[in-house]
Amino acid sequence: MSLVQVKGTQVELDEDGFLVDPEDWSEEMAAYFATVEEVADLTDNHWKVINYLRDYFKKFGVAPMIRKLCKDTGFSLKEIYELFPSGPAKGACKLAGLPKPTGCV
Amino acid sequence: MDDRKTPLLDELEKGDWPSFVTEIKRAAAKNKSAADLLAQLESSYEENIGHWKHGGIVGVKGYGGGVVGRYSDEPEKFPHIKEFHTIRVNQPAGFFYTTKKLRQLADIWDKYGSGLYNLHGSTGDCILLGTTTENLQPCVDELADIGFDLGGSGGALRTLSCCVGAARCEKACIDSMQIIHDLTLHYQDAIHRPAWPYKFKIKVSACPNDCAAASARSDLAIIGIWRDAIRIDNEAVRAAVDNGFDIFNRVIRKCPSEALLWDTEKKELTVCAEDCVHCMNCINMMPKAISIGREQGAALMIGGKAPVVKGAMLGWVLVPFIKLEPPYTELKEIIDKITDWWADHGKNRERVSELIVRMGLANFLEAVGLKPLPQMVHEPRSNPYIFWNAEEVEKRG
């Protein structure tokens, strides 16, 4: 566990740097995570993925499967990795403030 | 090595089998995380409970898998294993190494990790056991410099593995090492960037002895086979029999399909090729006298997996015989069709065999363009609940 200071608010992260409480998410948080996950600039394309993930999570309570993410956003997996070098789970989900992916990773 | 006591683990240094405790102690002599690992393990032995936290998501740039994150749940007590991640390194086919390569690998791992390994993980990867988040990227970069890449993890094509095959075994019907090398290079994206509902494993055994345990532990098992007759050198048979080998009780009587005929007078062994089910017993018993047929290829078996969720499954026949020659185009087409169909229809964390059970073998076969064959089943269905397509009913009246 660790605490980070983002725009004056203190936010709690787990060891992997994911939000402990998804309610703590803000656009500034996404900008902070971008620096950690080697995303240089948050472009419209990044936001398209982030917003999609947030909407999906709000609606279904889980992260979408990767193939669904690609289909619905129109980005190929290759393009997702170009946007988020650490991939959809560790990169995009973290920026979108979703809980940490679990299971046999 | 520090002076912490490990009485329970010390017990496991007694006895004849090589002791993993001794191994960890040797690593602990020069590495603090190995020392903490030993201490945490001792407390796990005392309390009968694991001391690793749930999950962990770490990785390296450009990859979605290959590293399994792990954190101690008592980081204050064992600070050097606060982060203790595992790196899966794709092993060379058949586990053949040169000492030079192993030394290079060990130098890198001494520098960045605990110095502990698992040679090998059950899927086949060379497992580097325990490092910090900070060390992951530089370690993997240096591994790449000496020619090692990461293996698979997560919802991806996992590291492929095989038996030693043609490198050392006269029973090899296919070049298992060449096949997994080729497939590994061809499917790099699928290995490194998880994109599927769940894991998918491919293993290759060069004959039905299945030394890679492919039928039990891979979703797609490629098993070498021949389709003409076994070759019998009757002079070698006679030599063995004259030498006291009990051919009747060890070979003839053990043939599961009664395909062998032994002429006691002439001391001559013959086979009825149509009856032979390629079980390997006679070849295993008399390797100098009996050998595999000349027309070689492989059988593909689909669906092997461990129990979660719908019960353990052994792979069953999907393709009874396929020729396998580089560049393995036909095989790759089948693999692509299987994984595409599964990725389209599979639920989250649904293995391919579970999807086949859910949607039906007929739908699966149609999707991958294979015809139903009697070899695919052990016996026909015992119930009359048969589905007919509307067109079939109209056509047949």
Residue B269 lies in a domain: yes
Residue B394 lies in a domain: no
Whether B266 is in a domain gets the answer yes
Please indicate, yes or no, if residue B393 is contained in any of the structural domains. Answer: no
Are B64 and A100 a contacting pair at CB < 8 A?
Answer: no
Set out the domains of chain A in order of their start, with CATH numbers.
2-96 (1.10.10.370)
Which residues of chain B, if any, have pLDDT below 50? 1
- Cβ contact B33:B84 at 8 Å: yes
> Among this protein's residues, is A70 annotated catalytic?
no
The two three-digit tokens of residue B78, written as one number: 């064992």
> Which band of pLDDT confidence, cut at 50, 70 and 90, is reported for residue A1?
confident
Same structural domain, B252 and B354: no
User: Could you give the count of Cα atoms lying within 13 Å of B158 in the half-sphere of its Cβ?
Assistant: 26
Q: For residue B274, is it within any domain?
A: yes
| A37-67 residues labelled b (16+ CB within 10 A) or e (exposed) | bebeebeeebeebbebbbebbeeeeebbbbb
pLDDT of residue A101: 84
pLDDT digits (tens, 9 = 90+) for B279-330: 999 999 999 999 999 999 999 999 999 999 999 999 999 999 999 999 999 9
| Residue A94: per-residue pLDDT | 96
Q: What are the backbone dihedrals phi and psi of residue B302, each rounded to the nearest 5 degrees, phi first?
A: -115, 145
Q: Do residues B108 and B84 both lie within one domain?
A: yes
Instruction: Identify the three-state secondary structure at position B271.
Output: strand
Closest partner CB to A16 (pick from B58, B154, B198)? B58
Residues B16 and B128 in one domain: yes
Looking at the DSSP bridge assignments, the partners of residue B268 are B263
Is B345 inside a domain boundary? yes
Between A8 and B267, where is the model more confident? B267
B208 and B322 housed in the same domain: yes
Looking at residue B121, which CATH number applies to its domain? 3.30.70.2500
Numbered residues of chain B with Cβ closer than 8 Å to any chain A Cβ? 53-65, 68-69, 71, 83, 153-155, 189, 193-199, 343-344, 348-349
B159 by Cβ neighbours in 10 Å (0-12 / 13-18 / 19+) ranks as buried
The answer to whether residues B136 and B96 belong to one domain is yes
In terms of domains, do B220 and B237 share one?
no
The tokens describing B207, both together, are 């004959």
User: Which of B256, B271, B291 finishes a domain?
Assistant: B291
Q: Test B53 with A15 for CB contact under 8 angstroms.
A: yes
Q: Give the pLDDT of residue A102.
A: 75
Assess if residue B388 is contained within a domain. no
Which residue intervals of chain B are DSSP H helices?
A: 7-11, 20-28, 32-47, 99-112, 133-145, 176-186, 188-192, 214-217, 234-242, 247, 281-285, 329-345, 352-359, 361-368, 390-396
Tokens 């058949």 locate to: B94
Query: Count of domains in chain B?
Result: 3
Contacts of A57 in chain B (CB under 8 A): none
Supply the pLDDT for residue B85: 97
Q: Are residues B198 and B281 in the same domain?
A: no
B59 with B128, same domain? yes
For residue A18, list chain B residues with Cβ-Cβ distance below 8 A.
57
Distance CA B351, CA B348 (A): 9
- Contact pairs from chain A to chain B, CB under 8 Å: 71
- Of the residues B291, B316, B337, which one is the last residue of a structural domain? B291
Min Cα–Cα distance to chain B from A70, Å = 9
CATH number at residue B207: 3.30.413.10
B382, part of any domain: no
End position of a domain, from candidates B146, B181, B204? B146
Closest residue by Cα to residue B201 from B193, B209, B190: B190
Clarify whether residues B341 and B263 are in a common domain.
no
- B61 with B118, same domain: the answer is yes
Closest-CA residue of chain B to A91: B64
On whether both B251 and B110 belong to a single domain, the answer is no
Residues B75 and B218 placed together within one structural domain of the fold: no
pLDDT for B3 equals 66
Q: What is the CATH number of the domain that holds B268?
A: 3.30.70.20
In chain A, DSSP assigns E strands to 2-6, 9-13
Residue numbers of the domain that contains B342 = 157-225+297-376
pTM confidence score: 0.96
Please, what is the end-to-end C-alpha distance for chain A in angstroms?
A: 21
Residues of B in contact with A88 (CB under 8 A): 64
What local confidence, expressed as pLDDT, does residue A104 receive?
Answer: 56
pLDDT for residue B2: 57
- pLDDT 10s digits, B112-171: 999 999 999 999 999 999 999 999 999 999 999 999 999 999 999 999 999 999 999 999
3-state secondary structure of B240: helix
